[in-house]
Chains A and B, each alone.
Chain A
Amino acid sequence: MGKTLFDKVWDRHVVSSEAGEPTVIYIDAHLIHEVTSPQAFAELRGRGLRVRRPEQTFATMDHAIPTRDIPLWPDDAQAQVGALRDNCGQFGITLWDIKGEVQGIVHVVAPEMGVTQPGMTIVCGDSHTSTHGAFGALAFGIGTSEVAHVLASQCLMQEKPKTFAINVEGRLAPGVTAKDIILSIIAKNGASGGVGHVFEYRGSTIRNLSMANRMTICNMSIEGGARAGMIAPDITTYEYMYGRPYAPTGKAWNDAVIEWSALATDDDAVFDRSLDIDAGALEPMVTYGTNPGMGVPVTGAVPQGADLEDEQQRRDLEAALDYMGLVQGQPMQGQHVDIVFIGSCTNSRLEDLREAAAIVKGRRVADHVEALVVPGSKAVKAAAEEEGLDRVFAEAGFQWRGAGCSMCLAMNDDKAGTGKYVASTSNRNFRGRQGPGSRSLLMSPIMAAAAAVEGQVVDVRGMLR
């Protein structure tokens, strides 16, 4: 029987697999940031341990940092950033510091730098590490204890996950994006539908997507409950990677491409589960509730509790709508929006900003809306400015910020106020995620851009040019 992409990557990283013990797998690249790493370094110090492979560990600052020039950072963010600098300095780890040229959201920067490569195992103390699966890497989020494990041993103990094929076939209609594919998958399969599994996104629709779009999809695998999401590497992957600072060069590049090209799932491989998605039937999506599975096409309405079979689901729907201030059966179009956030590791890459800018260009943000664009990295920001996107956004009334996680998780000063509706390109609509009491409506960058202009949820397909 053939092997899946996941099987091939997994098998190549097994360090030890003995009866009665968890499998020990080797980690090729370890990404760290300021929020989930300090306690791991403390653990190392407490035990007198070294970082086993500092050259395979990369750090940046993204979660807690401000994205605008404010005279004084909050003490706690300063302390976290200071601890990261000290730890990287002491243990010899490459740090992409906010003071330098390279910095941004860890899941945007690592691919940009060519650290993310097909066939690798990649971990980070952040659940959206699944993003890197877009390159055919096995990439997943870990807790801080495991950050310490990887620092000290370059290994992790793992139970082997099951495999789950998500087959996406057909041509996307104009105005329907990668974000709509993944929101549709999660709406269909549920926020916990992938627990214990690794998704592999397959099919003609996926193969036709750019790397930015593939990263958007893999990024939200965790929102579908999956440990990781993967896409087989192909010419699109290699074109993206070629010439990036950490990508192999010369003969090593040629050898690597041959090796990477053998990673794709074999024709006779069998997945534990599968799901088929008809891309041609998809519409722009928007969420109405408090987990990413609570999403509907923008032309649809908030579901009716009476349509749900399970009593707990009805209660959860009622609780979610109570929090969101929405009512059953309410059409999504016309829903009021206070804030528009374009950013996050899901949708802050150059293409995302280009597409949003194309909607915004020559239009104005509605008077009552506060709108911000937070590029995923300094490189994205510079490239966008080179193209004049910053001016397009600024002229329309958007704030143009520095790189970071910002209002995706509201650890810094970018917080939506209580009761505010945020049209957001991020990944989580959890209660209070974007600030205490905030109400998130997840959508694609072009849908968010349209919402900014109209001041309400609208179908972006009416605004395409």
Chain B
Amino acid sequence: MEKVDLIRARAVPLRADNVDTDQIIPARYLTAITTDGMGDGLFASWRYLDTGEPNPEFVLNNPEYKGAEILVAGANFGSGSSREHAVWALVQYGFKCVLAPSFGDIFYNNSLKNGFLPVVLPKEAIDALWEVLEDDPETQLWVDLRTQNVRMPDQQSLRFEIDPFRRDCLLQGLDDLGFLLAKEDQIVAFEAGRAQPAAA
């Protein structure tokens, strides 16, 4: 997993609450048996017209936001389906971080497993960011995982919370599977200490 540390980049305002994972990547893009090629499906129904041409109305297609690495979204971002393809699509498109007032639980978890940083900020901060980013798409945001701060365009810093263990994993690029496999002795002890589940 790639390490996450300081993300200093331009950001895209995505003014919508409840952006579900079907919007992030529609089911018709889930037919692969690898993780490759997901970036094309990102926000596909919003990004492309029925003709397959880019939809000029959609913010990601606005050239002023080209190269942005931070997404600023509304509440309950990533709700719905458990598809990790949503995170793969965001990462492969070039995003490193998403700021929102709240997230779907499974999406939040999936993000952490892919070195993609989900940051919870108050709704007021998101509203303010949307305004600033719409006024000036050149605006740079700093998201500093080490100090758990987002530096806002007015130079104020907003602290965000993240589980300390998760933060360390992201900073060091550690993945969870290694951690779990290192628990082998405890897993063996647990299994020995209880009757086998009836399904076994």
Contacts and interface: CB of A to CB of B under 8 A. Distances in A.
Q: Report which residue of B50, B87, B180, B198 has the largest number of chain A beta carbons within 10 angstroms of its beta carbon.
A: B198
B1 to A, nearest CB: 10
Contacts of B22: 409, 428, 430-433
Contact of B199 (A115, A144, A432, A437): A115
Interface in A118-147: 120, 125-127, 129, 140-146
Contacts of B110: 143-146
B20 A21 contact: no
A53 B20 CA distance: 33
Interface in A283-310: 290-291, 293
Interface of A: 12, 15-16, 20-22, 24, 26, 28-29, 35-36, 38-39, 42-43, 47, 49, 52-53, 55-56, 63-64, 74, 76-77, 79-80, 83, 114-115, 117, 120, 125-127, 129, 140-146, 148-149, 152-157, 159, 161, 191-192, 195-196, 222-223, 225, 227, 246-248, 252, 256, 290-291, 293, 312-313, 315-316, 319, 409-411, 418, 428, 430-433, 436-437
A15 B76 contact: no
A76 B180 contact: no
A39 B34 contact: yes
B27 A409 contact: yes
A311 B177 CA distance: 43
A15 B105 contact: no
Contact of A192 (B26, B75, B123): B75
Nearest to A409: B27
Contact of B26 (A145, A315, A432): A432
A247 B200 CA distance: 10
Given A148-B177, A152-B181, A431 B18 contact: no
Contacts, number: 207
A42 B183 contact: no
Contact of B35 (A12, A39, A55, A315): A39
Interface of B: 15-18, 20, 22-23, 26-28, 30-35, 45, 50, 74-76, 79-85, 87, 102-106, 109-110, 113-114, 123, 127, 163-166, 175-177, 179-181, 183-184, 186-187, 190-191, 194, 197-200
Nearest to B74: A312
Contact of B87 (A47, A143, A222, A410): A143
B34 A38 contact: yes
Contact of B183 (A63, A155, A161, A291): A155
A319 B80 contact: no
B31 A411 contact: yes
Contacts of A410: 27-28
A141 B106 contact: yes
B26 A291 contact: no
Contacts of A148: 177
B197 A28 contact: yes
B19 to A, nearest CB: 10
28 contacts: A15-B183, A16-B183, A22-B163, A39-B34, A55-B200, A63-B30, A79-B33, A120-B199, A126-B81, A129-B82, A143-B87, A143-B109, A144-B84, A144-B110, A145-B177, A146-B110, A153-B183, A154-B187, A157-B176, A157-B179, A196-B105, A227-B106, A312-B127, A315-B15, A316-B17, A316-B74, A410-B28, A431-B22
Contacts of A129: 82
Contacts of A114: 199
A200 to B, nearest CB: 17
Contacts of A430: 20, 22-23, 80
A225 B82 contact: no
The 6 closest A-B pairs by CB, nearest first: A76-B31, A143-B84, A192-B76, A143-B110, A38-B33, A141-B82
Contact of A149 (B17, B166, B176, B197): B176
B164 A436 contact: no
A126 B82 contact: yes
Contacts of B30: 35, 63-64, 411
A191 B79 contact: yes
A227 B186 contact: no
A256 B176 CA distance: 33
B187 A26 contact: yes
Contact of B31 (A47, A64, A152, A223): A64
B45 A432 contact: yes
B34 to A, nearest CB: 6
Contacts of B17: 312-313, 316
A195 B32 contact: no
A146 B35 CA distance: 15
A418 B50 contact: yes
Contacts of A248: 198
A127 B18 contact: no
Nearest to A77: B31
Contacts of B15: 312, 315
A195 B184 CA distance: 31
A313 to B, nearest CB: 7
A126 B200 CA distance: 22
Contacts of A20: 164-165
B162 to A, nearest CB: 11
B113 A143 contact: yes
B165 A431 contact: no
Given A15-B187, A39-B34, A410-B27, A153 B80 contact: no
Nearest to A144: B84
